[in-house]
Amino acid sequence: MFQLSEFLSPRPEPWWPLLRQVGVEHVVAVMRGAEQEQRMYAAVGGAAGTTSWAVGEEPWTEASLRADMELFATHGFTVAAIEDTAPMDAVRLGLPGRDEQIEHILTQVRAMGRLGIPVLCYNWMAFSSWARTRSAVPTRGGALVTGFRLSDTADLPPLTDPAGVTPDVLWDALAYFLDAVLPDAEEAGVRLALHPDDPPLPALRGVPRIISSLDAYRRLLRTSSSPSNAITFCQGNFALMTDDVPAAIRELGGSDAIAFVHFRDLRGRADDFVEAFHDDGQTDMGACLRAYRDVGFSGPLRPDHVPTLEGESNDRPGYGVLGRLFATGYIRGLQHAIYGRPGASPLAGTSTG
């Protein structure tokens, strides 16, 4: 059985109890002021991230991560994964300074091992994160979703100086990173779960991207057979790579390479799409969950990118509270239909009076 999780920063908010109330016990954490926490909303035109490091030291040290875990625990949550890293753009691009950045990642991975956090989600999108060209597209009933149109990026400046950044440079840099980190990750019992480039296009704003196809994942898995060399199966992106997402789950999950799942959906193609409510996109979500069950996936699964609903501010596109609650209910319904409802018996709830 997967671990139904939510994506949170270690900064308590008044609505956290709602997650416990709808049945979420696990957290996928970002780290205070680290790379993804800064990029997760800002990347799509939402509120900018903060760089405050609350416990007086870098967010990826054992002391910081322990403090975060304890904080989540006081709110009833267990940390199932970290979806954030120390800054690593030099690592992604193979630039000078990468060895120092890799040392930070090693510090993080070893700390995660000691703390029993088994999954680290990372990505190969240099100087960016998920990219959208619209952050308020009306969908069902006027709820707002994000959207992307490649043609809208034509006039945007390059994300970084593209000189020298080729797919080969990125692949070599990824192999160098895996070589440096996988042995320690394996020893620590931590799986490095590579997230797809979002959107999965061969290049964005003048800079090539490499993790944008099923073949790229096949190549990743050929690079090292370490059990720590793993995948974040971000369904929305895979739905833009293939028409048969369940088959991709069966292929990649069949060798136990899926360590973490982002459960979401959309409508369109990689160069032109809008996101969707979990029950309103182009993918058969139930067929996906059956595929996870059949390959024995047992890691964290979290909803990703939900619509912003009536009355909510859209300063965190994709991460509104009401949409998260709807997504959680939808996933729990599918889960009980497909896996069976734990503890349910035909007589449960009936009176024997």
104 is catalytic: no
Q: Are strands 26-29 and 3-8 parallel, antiparallel or unpaired?
A: parallel
CA 249 to chain centre: 16
Tokens 């973490």 locate to 260
**Least distance between ligand CS2 and beta carbon 290 (Å):** 22
Is residue 293 within 8 Å of residue 339, measured between CB atoms? yes
Decide if residue 186 touches ligand CS2 (CB under 6 A): no
Structure tokens at 105: 């990642």
Decide if residue 234 touches ligand CS2 (CB under 6 A): yes
Calculate ∠ Cα 8-11-12, nearest 5°.
Answer: 90
**Nearest CB to ligand CS2, comparing residues 32 and 186:** 32
Decide if residue 133 touches ligand CS2 (CB under 6 A): no
Stretch that binds ligand CS2, among 87-95, 175-183, 234-242, 321-329 (CB under 6 A): 234-242
**Nearest CB to ligand CS2, comparing residues 191 and 262:** 262
Span 151-170, contacts to ligand CS2 by CB under 6 A: none
Contacts for 78 with CB less than 8 Å, ≥ 6 apart: 25, 26, 27, 72
The catalytic residue among 26, 104, 278, 305 is 305
Contacts for 118 with CB less than 8 Å, ≥ 6 apart: 80, 81, 112, 189, 190, 191, 259, 299
26 is catalytic: no
Among 129, 135, 146, 229, binds ligand CS2 (CB under 6 A): 129
Say how far apart CA 28 and CA 129 lie, in whole Å. Answer: 17
The catalytic residue among 234, 265, 278, 292 is 234
First CA to last CA distance, the chain: 35
304 is catalytic: yes
Decide if residue 197 touches ligand CS2 (CB under 6 A): no
**Least distance between ligand CS2 and beta carbon 26 (Å):** 16
**Least distance between ligand CS2 and beta carbon 305 (Å):** 6
Among 46, 61, 68, 83, binds ligand CS2 (CB under 6 A): 83
Say how far apart CA 92 and CA 125 lie, in whole Å. Answer: 8
Decide if residue 304 touches ligand CS2 (CB under 6 A): yes
- Give, as one character, the DSSP assignment of residue 208: E
Amino acid at 191: R
Stretch that binds ligand CS2, among 48-56, 160-168, 229-237, 344-352 (CB under 6 A): 229-237
Say how far apart CA 253 and CA 260 lie, in whole Å. Answer: 10
How many chain residues are in contact with ligand CS2, going by CB under 6 A? 11
Burial class (CB in 10 A: 0-12, 13-18, 19+), 258: buried
Span 27-66, contacts to ligand CS2 by CB under 6 A: 36, 40
**Least distance between ligand CS2 and beta carbon 174 (Å):** 18
Q: DSSP per residue over 212-241, as a string?
A: -SHHHHHHHHHH---TTEEEEEEHHHHHTT
The catalytic residue among 195, 217, 265, 288 is 195
Among 98, 262, 278, 290, binds ligand CS2 (CB under 6 A): 262
Stretch that binds ligand CS2, among 107-115, 151-159, 182-190, 230-238 (CB under 6 A): 230-238
SS3 state at 100: helix
Among 94, 113, 118, 236, binds ligand CS2 (CB under 6 A): 236
**Nearest CB to ligand CS2, comparing residues 228 and 237:** 237
Decide if residue 198 touches ligand CS2 (CB under 6 A): yes
Say how far apart CA 180 and CA 111 lie, in whole Å. Answer: 16
**Nearest CB to ligand CS2, comparing residues 186 and 265:** 265
Positions that interact with ligand CS2 (CB under 6 A): 36, 40, 83, 129-130, 198, 234, 236-237, 262, 304
Residues serving a catalytic function are 195, 234, 262, 304-305, 319
